[in-house]
Amino acid sequence: MSKTKYVIYDNGDFHLFGEYEHHSGQNKYDADIVSTAFVNIYVSKEQPGVVLVECYGKSVSLNMSARPQDSKIIAKGLGLWDKYEDEPTRFHR
């Protein structure tokens, strides 16, 4: 299984990309990178209908680690976070 990497910029934008690209090569925008590591996006086994975002690890090339708020930033950006309930969005089948 391939890993997904991410970077979060100081303007609030983020970028997801594949494991064969380097974190250090993602500084292509007019913003500075404030956080970068790896991300898993998956359906929760304990909460049916909930898609979770989990940031983890460290970028060796930029010497930065995942921050606690990164998962929420990416989940909100992907529309997987309920802004009214302040929790992951539940999708019904």
Average pLDDT, the chain: 87
pLDDT at 68: 94
pLDDT of residue 81: 86
- Compute the distance between CA of residue 52 and CA of residue 63 in angstroms, rounded to an integer: 25
**Which is higher by pLDDT, 24 or 16?**
16
CA separation for the pair 48, 65 (Å, rounded): 30
Q: Is residue 93 scored above 60 in pLDDT?
A: no
Q: Distance (Å, rounded) from C-alpha 19 to C-alpha 41? A: 14
Burial level of 36, CB count in 10 A (0-12/13-18/19+)? buried
Query: For residue 19, which of 51, 53, 57, 52 has the smallest C-alpha distance?
Result: 57
Mean per-residue pLDDT, 2-16: 91
pLDDT of 77 strictly over 70:
yes
